Amino acid sequence: MVADALTRATGRLVQLVEIVTPGDRSLAPVAQLGVGVFVSALRDALADKEIDFAVHSYKDLPTAPMDGLVIAAIPERADARDVLIARDGLTLAELPAGSTIGTGAVRRIAQLHGLGLSLNTVPIRGNIDTRLRKVTDGELDAVVLARAGLVRLGRADEITETLDPMLMLPAPAQGALAVECRADDLDLIEALSVLDHRATRAAVTAERALLAALEAGCSAPVAGMAEVADDDDGGEEIYLRGAVFSEDGQQAVRLSRTGTLADAEQIGRLLAADLLELGADRLFGPTHVGSEDENVPGSAR
C-alpha cells in the first residue's frame, strides 16, 4: 500500500523486501518478548543499507528514537478502534456471562474485565486466520482485534462490532503506519514526505508522548487516542484521551487534554503528568514492557 502510494505520488518504483522478525517467529506471550521485537530486524536492514525504508505498524515502535533513523512519513491513519469478532454475530453486551474472549493485550484484558460482564479472557497469538478460526471452531466465543488491520487485509465483513472508545480505548498509535528511513538520506526523506499526513502525525505524536512520559511499554495497560477537529476559532485542535488501568481492570485513571497541533508532544506529556498525579503509576503490573500483540504476518494491528 505504501509502495504503491509512493509510486503514484513520485513515479519512483519500489521493490518490496520481506523481512521476518523475532516477534514473527515466536509464540511466547508478548510481554516476555521485549520492546522493539517486531521492528529490530527491519531497523538492522536499514542500518546495513539492505533496504532504503521500512514500514512499521507505529504502535510496535519503541518510544525512544533510534540514532541515524527518522520517521519520514506517517500516512493518514486508518480507523484506530478495536473490534469484536464473535460467534453467532453477537455484540459484546450480548455475550453470555462466562464467555471466552481471546486477546494478548493487557490493555484490552484490563478494559474487558473492567466492564463487569463476567467475561473470561484467553491470551492468544497468531495470524488473522488462526485467531478467527478459534471462533468459528468453537474454541473461543470471540476475539478482539484492531479494526485497521482487518480492513487492510480485506476482512472487515467478519467484524461483529466496532467497539466504542468509551468502552475500549485503543493503544497509542493504533491504526497508524510509520515510514522510516536513514536520517542522512535527504533525497528519500523528501520523496517520502509526500505521504505524510499532518493531522495523523500530530495525533500520534501526542499519544506516543503520553506513553513515553508514563515510561510504559505498549503492552502496559495504557490507552490513548487523539483526535483532530476544528476549534471555535476556525483552526484545529487536538483532543487527547488517556487512561491507565490495573491489570484486573478494577481500577482506572482516565483524563483528557486539548491543545493545538503545534503543541502535540506537550499535550501528551502534560496528560501523562496529570495521570501520574492521580496515581496512575501505582496501577502498572510487574510486566509492562514490550509490544502489544498481533504482530505476526497477516495480523490485525
Express each pLDDT in 121-151 by its tens digit: 999 877 888 899 999 999 999 999 999 999 9
Q: Is residue 214 part of a domain?
A: no
Domain membership of residue 127 (yes or no) is yes
On the question of pLDDT at 296 being above 90, the answer is: no
**126: CATH:** 3.40.190.10
Distance CA 41, CA 54 (A): 10
Whether pLDDT at 32 is above 50: no
Continuous segment of H or E residues that includes residue 187 = helix 186-192
Portion of the chain with pLDDT greater than 70, in percent: 87
Q: Who has greater pLDDT, 183 or 22?
A: 183
pLDDT score for 128: 85
Please determine, for residue 94, whether its predicted confidence score (pLDDT) is greater than 50. Answer: yes
Average pLDDT, integer, range 277-281: 92
Number of H helices, E strands in the chain: 9, 11
Show the domain range for 92.
Answer: 82-162
Q: What is the mean pLDDT of residues 111-116?
A: 95
Does position 109 have pLDDT exceeding 90, yes or no? yes
In a domain, 255, yes or no: no
The pLDDT value recorded for residue 291 is 42
Residue 128 lies in a domain: yes
C-alpha grid cell, residue 38 = 517486531
Catalytic residue from among 60, 82, 263, 293: 60
pLDDT tens figures, 214-262: 976 545 689 999 999 988 777 899 999 999 999 889 999 999 999 999 9
Q: Is residue 215 part of a domain?
A: no
Looking at the structure of the chain, the number of domains it has is: 1
In a domain, 190, yes or no: no
The most confident of the ranges 30-39, 196-205, 210-219 is 196-205
pLDDT of 284: 76
CB 197 within 8 A of CB 74: yes
Who has greater pLDDT, 291 or 254?
A: 254
Q: Grid coordinates representing 71?
A: 520517521
Backbone phi, then psi, for 255, in 5-degree steps?
Answer: -150, 170
60 classed as catalytic: yes
Q: How confident is the model at residue 183 (pLDDT cuts 50, 70, 90)?
A: very high
Alpha-carbon torsion, ordered 144, 113, 205, 124, to 10 deg: -40
Residue 269 phi, psi (nearest 5): -70, -40
Q: What is the mean pLDDT of residues 22-40?
A: 55
- Has residue 174 got a pLDDT over 90? yes
Q: Answer yes or no: is 203 within a domain.
A: no
pLDDT score of 21? 62
pLDDT band at 292 (very low <50, low <70, confident <90, very high): low
Is 121 part of a structural domain of the chain? yes
User: Region 45-68: what's the mean pLDDT?
Assistant: 93
Please report the pLDDT score of residue 216 as a whole number: 62
Tell whether the model's pLDDT for residue 300 goes beyond 60: no
What's the mean per-residue pLDDT of the chain? 88
